[in-house]
Amino acid sequence: MLNLTEDELIEPIRLIIGASSQSYAGWIQTQEDELNLLSRSNWEQSFPLGKVKAILAEHVWEHLTYEEGVEAARICFDFLEHQGYIRCAVPDGFFQNEWYQDIVKIGGPGPKDHPAATHKIVHTYKTLSRMFEEAGFKVKLLEYCDEHGQFHFNQWNAEQGFIYRSYRYDHRNQNNELGFVSIIVDAVKE
At 13-39, the pLDDT tens digits run 999 999 888 889 889 999 898 999 999
In DSSP terms, 87 is beta-bridged to 56, 186
Rounded to the nearest 5°, which phi and psi values hold at 83?
70, 10
Superfamily of domain 6-188: Vaccinia Virus protein VP39 (3.40.50.150)
Tell me the per-residue pLDDT of 152-189, one tens digit each, with 9 for 90 and over: 999 999 999 999 999 999 999 999 899 999 999 999 99
Residue among 57, 142, 151 at smallest CA distance from 97: 151
Predicted TM-score (pTM) of the model is 0.93
Beta strand extents in the chain (DSSP E only): 13-16, 28-29, 52-58, 80-91, 138-145, 151-153, 182-188
Angle at 22 between CA 42 and CA 154, to 5 degrees: 100
Provide the 3-class DSSP secondary structure of residue 94. coil
Band of residue 51 on the pLDDT scale cut at 50, 70, 90: confident
